[in-house]
């Protein structure tokens, strides 16, 4: 199997072995006489006569057949079709993560080429073989998880775009128990930074673990780039690392990543791997009391919900749930059909709350939301190629039959926003529905405490940030001054 040599730091394998700032090569080079680009409709191929033909999102064989049938077009290879698909998939992620994701996917495409298999025609057997070969190398469980996760994401994208009928990665495990057990420390032996990182992450729940894992990946990549053992860093290294974060991220993100690092080194001290915590005494950035995003206005929420109704019953039900219950998109997507119920005459949904809740919280559903969910549940068993048990399984699913992902929701919300709220299409986030829920609840006269409980905020300060931001414009002194001057002119 072709692969990059893992970077060894601190006696263990680094969680990341690519330069996050380096533009990774695409799997196939474009021909100079047949340039390609990607639009929201599909691959665009320039013809010999200079005309542009928009290809429908169909299978690669049909695309090639259509090209070969047209004498006006220059020949297009399967490699170019695949590259267009990779470009479209990568574009669904933030630009700063695309290079790393491309690199991981490129390794998989090279593996397919070495085995003489078309990446668009692979079966589950080859994916399992790829996973086993990665596990047999020096790759850490976290690195295997990241690489396999990108392959899984790519094939889910192909299924959603109807390029292939099924997902060959179904059934693969993201962290095999045997490999994980092997990565943990053996009693009486020193623990590597990799083993310490795995042990540290295991103490957190899924969503927190994912965020902390990403923060540790970035830090270990930094250590690899500057050539320092992560378990031997000193305060100057930490100060320089913080300056790197300051140049890339918002202050809130810098604070979060530094807190993760402080917690990780505290864990290392408790485990006897370090004598002192080099991040101790870290002072976070002071954040404004006003949230930078006030979400969506009431008429904008209505416009998006109407667009979702045209999009389909599942998206209509999901966005209504986000807007009327203020759920985080990850909370909504993690629910199952079994989580629906009734309590004291209320239709309810059990949701795993982020943060201090730590367990399922039962939230009531407005009649409007419950009715839309009922409509979707009637259609859900036949909505995908995989027939679903109407009484069990993910509440929201993809065309491939798997649980809906946050990126898939965001892509569809952005597409709808381009049509109904174009001025916010470039910046809209699924979290804006949650922001809108808080501000609309406060505008409707709900108490701050009730809104805090409904939103699942651990601290009233978080809810108050939305309240402050909501009134920052309405209660600004400029209007009082303008009225005062107008009265003096009279």
Tell me the pairing of strands 36-38 and 52-54. unpaired
Mean pLDDT, rounded, for 48-52: 38
Tokens of 148: 């396999």
Residue 437 CB partners (closer than 8 Å, separation 6+): 295, 322, 323, 324, 325, 326, 454, 455
pLDDT value of position 466: 67
pLDDT at residue 2 in the model? 41
CATH architecture for segment(s) 298-474 = Orthogonal Bundle (1.10)
- CB-based contacts of 163: which residues, under 8 Å, 6+ apart? 57, 58, 59, 60, 85, 120
In this structure, how many other beta carbons lie within 10 angstroms of the beta carbon of residue 173?
A: 15
Q: Give the pLDDT score at 76.
A: 46
pTM (global) more than 0.75: no
24-28, 151-155, 338-342, 390-394: lowest mean pLDDT where? 24-28
For the ranges 22-36, 82-96, 329-343, the maximum mean pLDDT occurs at: 329-343
> Span 202-287: which CATH code?
1.10.150.130
Can you tell me the mean pLDDT for 325-353?
91
* Mean pLDDT, the chain, integer: 75
**Rounded CA gap, 413 and 283, in Å?**
37
What's the CA angle centered on 451, arms 445 and 453, to 5 degrees?
150
Listed residue (284, 140, 263) closest to 211, CA to CA: 263
Higher-confidence residue: 152 or 138? Answer: 152
Domain chopping of the chain, boundaries: 1-179, 202-287, 298-474
How far CA 168 is from CA of 124, 153, 403, in Å, comes to: 4, 11, 15
pLDDT in tens, 167-221: 787 755 544 444 444 444 444 456 788 888 888 888 777 678 888 888 999 999 8
Q: 310 CB contacts (<8 Å, ≥6 apart)?
A: none
β partners of residue 347: 342
Q: Do residues 166 and 159 touch, judged by C-beta distance below 8 A?
A: yes
Ordered DSSP codes for 270-320: HTTS-SS-TTTT--PPPPPSS-S-----HHHHHHHHHHHHHH-HHHHHHHH
Least confident of 9-18, 150-159, 219-228: 9-18
On the question of pLDDT at 57 being above 90, the answer is no
* pLDDT for the residue 303: 95
What pLDDT does residue 402 have?
80
| Chain-centre distance for alpha carbon 387 | 26
- pLDDT: which is higher, 360 or 211: 211
Structure tokens that stand for 259 in this block: 């807190």
Q: Residues 401, 385: contact at Cβ < 8 Å?
A: yes
Whole-angstrom distance, CA of residue 136 vs CA of residue 130: 10
Handedness of CA 88, 91, 93, 98 (dihedral sign): positive
Asked if 6 contacts 86 with a C-beta cutoff of 8 angstroms, the reply is no
Helix or strand or coil: residue 249?
coil
465 vs 200 pLDDT, higher one: 200
pLDDT-derived band at 69, boundaries 50, 70, 90: very low
Which tens digit of pLDDT belongs to each residue from 282-320?
Answer: 888 887 655 555 568 889 999 999 999 999 999 999 999
Phi, psi of 360, rounded to the nearest 5 degrees: -70, 135
């Amino acid at each position: 199997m072709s692969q990059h040599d893992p970077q060894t730091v601190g006696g263990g394998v680094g969680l990341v072995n690519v330069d996050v700032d380096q533009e990774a090569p695409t799997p196939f080079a474009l021909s100079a006489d047949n340039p390609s680009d990607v639009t929201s409709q599909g691959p665009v191929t320039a013809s010999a006569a200079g005309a542009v033909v928009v290809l429908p999102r169909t299978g690669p064989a049909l695309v090639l057949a259509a090209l070969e049938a047209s004498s006006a077009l220059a020949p297009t290879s399967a490699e170019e079709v695949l590259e267009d698909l990779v470009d479209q998939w990568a574009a669904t992620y933030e630009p700063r993560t695309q290079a790393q994701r491309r690199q991981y996917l490129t390794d998989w495409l090279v593996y397919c080429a070495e085995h003489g298999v078309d990446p668009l025609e692979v079966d589950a057997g080859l994916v399992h073989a790829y996973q086993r070969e990665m596990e047999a190398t020096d790759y850490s469980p976290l690195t295997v998880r990241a690489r396999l996760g990108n392959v899984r994401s790519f094939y889910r994208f192909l299924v959603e775009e109807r390029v292939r009928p099924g997902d060959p990665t179904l059934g693969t495990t993201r962290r095999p128990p045997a490999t994980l057990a092997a990565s943990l420390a053996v009693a009486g032996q020193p623990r590597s930074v990799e083993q310490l990182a795995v042990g540290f992450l295991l103490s957190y729940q899924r969503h927190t673990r994912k965020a902390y894992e990403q923060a540790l990946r970035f830090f270990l990549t930094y250590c690899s780039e500057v050539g320092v053992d992560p378990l031997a860093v000193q305060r100057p290294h930490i100060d320089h690392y913080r300056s790197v974060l300051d140049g890339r991220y918002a202050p809130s993100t810098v604070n979060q990543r530094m807190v993760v690092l402080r917690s990780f080194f505290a864990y290392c001290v408790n485990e006897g791997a370090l004598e002192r915590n080099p991040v101790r005494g870290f002072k976070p950035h002071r954040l404004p009391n006003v949230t930078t995003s006030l979400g969506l206005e009431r008429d904008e929420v209505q416009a998006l919900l109407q667009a979702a109704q045209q999009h389909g019953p599942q998206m209509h039900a999901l966005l209504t749930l986000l807007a009327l219950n203020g759920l985080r998109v990850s909370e909504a997507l993690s629910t199952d059909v079994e989580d629906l119920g009734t309590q004291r005459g209320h239709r309810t949904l059990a949701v795993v709350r982020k943060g201090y809740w730590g367990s399922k919280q039962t939230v009531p559903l407005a009649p409007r939301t419950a009715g839309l969910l009922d409509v979707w549940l009637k259609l859900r068993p036949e909505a995908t190629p995989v027939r679903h048990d109407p009484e069990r399984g993910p509440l929201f699913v993809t065309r491939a039959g798997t649980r809906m992902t946050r990126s898939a929701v965001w892509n569809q919300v952005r597409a709808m926003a381009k049509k109904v709220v174009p001025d916010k299409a470039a910046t809209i986030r699924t979290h804006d529905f949650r922001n809108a829920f808080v501000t609309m609840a406060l505008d409707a006269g709900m108490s701050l405490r009730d809104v805090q409980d409904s939103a699942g905020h651990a601290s009233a300060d978080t809810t108050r940030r939305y309240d402050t931001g909501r009134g920052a414009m309405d209660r600004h002194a400029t209007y009082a001054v303008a009225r005062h001057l107008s009265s003096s002119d009279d």
